[in-house]
Chains A and B, each alone.
Chain A
Amino acid sequence: MEDNPAHSARPSLPPPPPFPWQLWAIAGVVFAFLWWSAVETGVNWEAFREGFPELGEYFGRLLPTSENPWPLDYLPLIQEKLIETIKIALGASIIGSALALPFALLGARNLAAGKWVYNLGRGFLNLVRTIPDLILATLLAAVFGIGPVAGLLALTVFTFGIVAKLLCDTIETIDPGPMESVTAAGGSYLERALYAAFPQVAPDFTAYSLYAFEVNVRAAAVLGLVGAGGIGANLQQSISFMNYSRVGLIIFVTFIVVLIIDTFSTWLRSRLV
């Protein structure tokens, strides 16, 4: 290696970093946890291999074949339920978003009446978002009876959680300028929220509501499996009766509906931003 005598105070090599015991220990713990989990949950590759052909068979029975075509005469019967599914999703999206708007306007960090209000709001929001939508649905079905009402209420809460969080985050990043002008002109809290904050987030609000609608349509499709209305009830029935060609048809039609709504909604959202 060449050495230049002109370099007297040269920076020297650092000591090599110590062996990352911590990292390997954590990896070990995670791996052990996963192994133990696999044992406890009965992950059983033999069973999987044995069950796999059966699984393939089930999925196969879902598809339309010549001897086993999809019962198209079943379509008019489920039409009503499909529409009900969309209604649940739509209604929940509208009400949930409508509730989320004032909540976010009141509770966002830069608008809130105080730190106390803000923290309470955030806490409540986190609580609401922690509850899985289907769990809420099944419990509400026990309260309000089996049917779309329970599903609507459950998804409303779900929507509220999603839209309120997104909206709060957005409000916190808006330009403070307009709000300062309103305050300087002697405006009240309400006027600040309505005339300065809301106009800036209005397009985002609509986008979030549409997004919530997309998510809700998917969620609404399975609500029926826990008795909360929508096409899921037919699905459950068909599965119980082992009428797999119907099952296949329902899944396919639901998929198409979700796809159409998704595409339309995504297009609308792109026009908004």
Chain B
Amino acid sequence: MSSTPNDAPTVPRDPMVSFENTSVQYPNGHRALQNINLNFYPGEFVVIVGLSGAGKSTLIRCVNRLVNPTEGIVRVAGQNIIGLPDGELRKVRARIGMIFQNYNLVRRSSVLRNVLTGRLAHLPAWRTLLGLFPQEDVQLALACLERVGIPEKAYQRADTLSGGQQQRVAIARALAQQPYILLADEPVASLDPPTAHQVMRDLKQLSREENLLTLVNLHFVDMAITYADRIIGLRGGELVYDGTTEGMTEESFEEIYQRRIRPDDVLIKEADTPVEAVSGGR
């Protein structure tokens, strides 16, 4: 896999994703995002925090336009993606990988086939509709599986894997797209603590190794502190925090949430297994 996508901006301070006065208002009047102005840079590992309904999901879905902003501009690699025709939008999405809380794999298909679906947007229609993936794409998919550590599961049905393994398949699928950006919507909410930490470590490592801008929604405040380079805090659709984890504690989140931290905001309850430091190895 390439270490830096060739066509990504190489000048370090040009943002990869930027929100300019972006707002999202749903037809029922609910304002999910209000006047967001943000820049995200290549290779950053950003954690977005906030209560449910604060707008975290909406924010990251604006990046690949699974949600359409009602006001303002969203730029990806400098290009305004609002109002893009479908064909162009698909090209943009092809370079943005996304993983979900419930993995969203095609359950009855094999693991390999699932990873290969990451290549769909990169292949001509006749190949995709007949399901004839060329050898090099298959090799790429297998390499991605190796990268996430589960090559031996390649031909198993996706629903026979454990939660953590399924999430890894989802990550492999995203990697197969050779993305510049990785979006993760509550990727560890359905996993047990050791597996959750494993996945977060993997995501952080990938972000470093591939210089991949990663935006992660998390509601566990301790994980946010442990893994983030940068934290974005949302409340009621508005940006209320944008900064590093320097000196942040769980209490700092009470400022963002405007309420006391509760036990389910924290992954590791008191006096449990200590959080392992982020390191290079697996």
Q: Are A13 and B152 in contact (CB under 8 A)?
A: yes
Q: How far is the CB of A1 from chain B (nearest CB, A)?
A: 5
Q: Are A1 and B155 in contact (CB under 8 A)?
A: no
Q: Are B152 and A12 in contact (CB under 8 A)?
A: yes
**Chain B, range 112-169, C-beta contacts under 8 Å to A:** 142-143, 146-147, 149-152, 154-155
Q: Which residues of B contact A6 (CB under 8 A)?
A: 280-282
Q: Are A11 and B154 in contact (CB under 8 A)?
A: no
Q: How far is the CB of A27 from chain B (nearest CB, A)?
A: 16
1/0 per position for B1-29, CB-CB distance to A under 8 A? 10100000000000000000000000000
Q: Are A4 and B281 in contact (CB under 8 A)?
A: yes
Q: Which residues of A contact B192 (CB under 8 A)?
A: none
Q: Which residues of A contact B3 (CB under 8 A)?
A: 2
The docked-state distance in angstroms from the alpha carbon of A28 to that of B77 is 51
Q: Select one of A1, A11, A12 contacting B143, CB under 8 A.
A: A1
Q: How far is the CB of B149 from chain A (nearest CB, A)?
A: 7
**Chain A, range 1-24, C-beta contacts under 8 Å to B:** 1-2, 4, 6-7, 10-14, 16-17
Q: Are A11 and B151 in contact (CB under 8 A)?
A: yes
Q: Are B152 and A14 in contact (CB under 8 A)?
A: yes
Q: Are B149 and A11 in contact (CB under 8 A)?
A: yes
Q: Which residues of B contact A11 (CB under 8 A)?
A: 149-152
Give the nearest-CB partner of A5 in chain B: B281
- Interface contacts (Cβ under 8 Å), in number, total 34
The docked-state distance in angstroms from the alpha carbon of A1 to that of B151 is 14
Q: Which residues of B contact A1 (CB under 8 A)?
A: 1, 143, 146-147
The docked-state distance in angstroms from the alpha carbon of A177 to that of B146 is 53
Q: How far is the CB of A75 from chain B (nearest CB, A)?
A: 51
Q: Which residues of B contact A10 (CB under 8 A)?
A: 146, 149
> Is B209 engaged at the interface, CB distance under 8 Å to the other chain?
yes
Q: Are A2 and B209 in contact (CB under 8 A)?
A: yes
B interface, over-half SS? loop
- Given A1-B1, A7-B282: A14 in contact with B209 (beta carbons within 8 A): no
Q: Are B155 and A17 in contact (CB under 8 A)?
A: yes
Q: Select one of A2, A12, A13 contacting B1, CB under 8 A.
A: A2
Give the nearest-CB partner of B153 in chain A: A14
- Contact size range, B: 10 to 19
The docked-state distance in angstroms from the alpha carbon of A4 to that of B281 is 8
The docked-state distance in angstroms from the alpha carbon of A6 to that of B152 is 19
The docked-state distance in angstroms from the alpha carbon of A2 to that of B210 is 10
Q: How far is the CB of B144 from chain A (nearest CB, A)?
A: 9
Q: Are B142 and A13 in contact (CB under 8 A)?
A: yes
Give the nearest-CB partner of A17 in chain B: B155
Q: Which residues of B contact A7 (CB under 8 A)?
A: 282
Q: Which residues of A contact B150 (CB under 8 A)?
A: 11
The docked-state distance in angstroms from the alpha carbon of A12 to that of B152 is 6
Give the nearest-CB partner of B144 in chain A: A1
The docked-state distance in angstroms from the alpha carbon of A1 to that of B281 is 17
The docked-state distance in angstroms from the alpha carbon of A17 to that of B113 is 13
The docked-state distance in angstroms from the alpha carbon of A34 to that of B152 is 40
- Given A1-B1, A2-B1, A2-B209: A14 in contact with B151 (beta carbons within 8 A): yes
- Given A1-B1, A1-B143, A2-B1: A14 in contact with B281 (beta carbons within 8 A): no
List residues of B whose CB falls within 8 A of some A CB.
1, 3, 142-143, 146-147, 149-152, 154-155, 209, 280-282
List residues of A whose CB falls within 8 A of some B CB.
1-2, 4, 6-7, 10-14, 16-17
Between-chain CB contacts (< 8 Å), 6 pairs? A4-B281, A4-B282, A6-B281, A10-B146, A12-B152, A13-B142
Additional A-B contacts beyond A7-B282, A16-B155, A17-B155 (13; CB < 8 A)? A1-B143, A1-B146, A2-B147, A4-B281, A4-B282, A6-B281, A11-B150, A12-B151, A13-B142, A13-B151, A13-B154, A14-B151, A14-B155
